[in-house]
Amino acid sequence: MKYFVALTLVAFSVLSHAKTLQVGKNFPYKTIKEALAASENSDTLIINPGLYREGNIVIEKAVSIIGVNLPIIDGEHKYEVISVKSSNVLVKGLKVINSGIATLEDPCGIKVYQSENVTIRENVLIDNFFAIYLMSSINCTVEQNYVSASATEEQAIGNGIHCWKSKDLKIINNFIKGHRDGIYFEFVTHSVIWRNISKRNLRYGLHFMFSNDDSYIGNVFEENGAGVAVMYTKHVKMFNNVFRENWGDAAYGLLLKEISDSQIQNNKFTNNTTGILIEGSSRIQMSQSELKSNGWGIKISASCEDINLTQNNFLSNTFDIATNGSLVLNNFDGNYWDKYEGYDLNRDNVGDVPYHPLSLFSVIVERMPSAMLLFRSFMITLLDKSEKILPSLTPENFIDNKPFMKPLAI
């Protein structure tokens, strides 16, 4: 990748030779701005260790800015720290701190404006309003950055990695914590979010809207205020992610709202108030996933259709499934439910009696949330048991016809 960028830089600067400019107290250039002014396309700025307080640094040439031992670029809580307004820029190895705070302008640690082929790599971003912001950009890479903030109120902080109206982005291996949303995607297409860790963000670990044809793979989202929200999108692939410990009044591992034609595979949902909340979605394939120790495994609204849940493990959730209606246009065949009490006479590892994953109490609670007051009371236990024997209130066709006898290897 590095070579590719270098090659492109060479290609764009046919006339001039790329040179290296040293920045630092004891170097030819005392400030980054000075060096930038003296630089040309495809030059490299080496930022030596030190504290740089230069207000807003604007990069308008295709340069590489490379920090040595994490020089500190301080926005003093007043400025946007680094603004990239050129394509083919590399920002690497900087410690960017204390961007300004404003709700209208969204000042950032590093912001990319309408550019292509920008790479932001191995930076540390501490206490910025927005940490990294890609606006209307194409084919950019955000990789191996450590992003951290310590806000306590949603209004007082922006997102960790914020991407808007872009395409072909690669968000890889970043660590984000303490922002409003860890990663934010809006109108971003054909992009990949891979192996990031997003935790303890105030709102969502990943906030994802109107962003078709994206994949997010191998990420960990944990202890975020509300979990992960994926909304108004088609053709999303969600593979191998972990959604963990998103616990709170209105928290869930994953919210799917108005999603269609998407795939959810090999994900793990553990210890969330609600593992997955699905609303108004259609044509979703969910398989090979594990839902474990959640309050609700999956809450699926009656407005969903063609949700195909198969080969998933449901383990020690308080409620495996909840739904707010009686119309069932979804398929639940072929999962493992630890609450299943049926038998398997022909030993083919498929239970001989269908399983009704909806408990009576979950139906009651959907209809009347206040009934949660009776949670764990003796009467509810009795009601659930009797409903299991003689189903009367739960929707009849909410059923797994081929429940597995043993957990699936996932």
Partner 1 sequence: MLRILKYVIRDILNNKIVIAYALLLAVLSWSMFSLEDSSSKGVLSLLNIILLNVPLVSVIFSTIYIYNSGEFIELLLSQPIKRSKIWSSFYLGLCISLIVAFLIGAGIPILVYSPDSTGLMMIVVGVLITAIFVSLAFFSAVFTRDKAKGIGFAIMLWLFFALLFDGLVLFLLFQFADYPIEKAMVGITALSPIDLSRIMVLLHLDVSAMLGYTGAIFKEFFGTLTGMIVTFSLLGLWVLLPFWFSLWRFKKMDL
176 Cα distance to chain centroid:
10
Nearer residue to partner 1 within complex by CB, 252 or 340: 252
Judge contact between 41 and 9, C-beta under 8 A: yes
Q: Which residue, 104 or 369, is less far from partner 1 as judged by CB?
A: 369
Quick note: the x/- pattern for partner 1 over 204-233, rule CB under 8 A, is ------------------------------
Nearest to 86 by CA among 28, 24, 13: 13
Segment 255 to 274, residues that bind partner 1, using CB under 8 A: 273
Q: How far apart are CA 354 and CA 343, in angstroms?
A: 10
- Applying CB under 8 A, does 355 fall inside the site for partner 1? no
- How far is Cα 79 from Cα 96, in angstroms, rounded to an integer? 12
Widest pairwise Cα distance in the chain: 84
Distance CA 410, CA 234 (A): 26
Q: At its nearest, how many Å lie between partner 1 and the CB of residue 289?
A: 20
What is the nearest approach in angstroms of partner 1 to the Cβ of residue 274?
9
Beta-strand ranges (E) seen in 235-312 are 237-239, 242-244, 252-265, 268-270, 274-279, 282-287, 290-292, 296-300, 305-310
Verify binding: residue 324, partner 1, rule CB under 8 A: no
Q: Of 127, 104, 208, 204, which Cα lies nearest the Cα of 164?
A: 208
Least Å from the CB of residue 379 to partner 1: 4
| In the complex, minimum distance from the CB of residue 364 to partner 1, in angstroms, rounded to a whole number | 8
Q: Does 326 bind partner 1 (CB under 8 A)?
A: no
Q: Looking at beta carbons only, is 112 or 380 nearer to partner 1?
A: 380
Q: Does 277 bind partner 1 (CB under 8 A)?
A: no
Q: Does 247 contact partner 1 by CB under 8 A?
A: yes
75, 225, 227, 295: which one binds partner 1 (CB under 8 A)? 295
**Residue 389 dihedral angles phi and psi, to the nearest 5°:** -80, -45
User: Does residue 401 interact with partner 1 by CB under 8 A?
Assistant: no
**DSSP line for 214-225:** -EEES-EEES-S
Burial of 20 (0-12, 13-18, 19+ CB in 10 A): exposed
DSSP 3-state assignment of 194?
strand
Least gap, CB of 370 to partner 1 (angstroms): 5
Q: Where are the alpha helices (DSSP H) in 261-305?
A: none
Q: Does residue 58 belong to the site contacting partner 1 (CB under 8 A)? A: no
Does residue 102 touch partner 1 according to CB under 8 A?
no
Taking the least distance from each CB to partner 1, the nearer of 12 and 375 is 375
Q: Does 364 bind partner 1 (CB under 8 A)?
A: yes
**Residue window 366-385: x/- pattern of binding to partner 1, with contact defined by CB under 8 A:** -xxxxxxxxxxxxxxxx---
Q: Are strands 44-47 and 161-167 parallel, antiparallel or unpaired?
A: unpaired
The length of the chain in residues reads 410
Cβ proximity to partner 1: between 262 and 274 the closer is: 274
Number of residues that bind partner 1 (CB under 8 A): 25
Residue of 28, 49, 248, 342 that binds partner 1 (CB under 8 A): 248
Candidates 107-115, 119-127, 211-219, 243-251: pick the segment binding partner 1 (CB under 8 A): 243-251
* Burial label, 1 (beta-carbon count in 10 A; 0-12, 13-18, 19+): exposed
SS3 112: strand
Nearest approach, Cβ of residue 317 and partner 1 (Å): 11
| Contacting positions for partner 1 (CB under 8 A) | 247-249, 251, 273, 295-296, 318, 364, 367-382
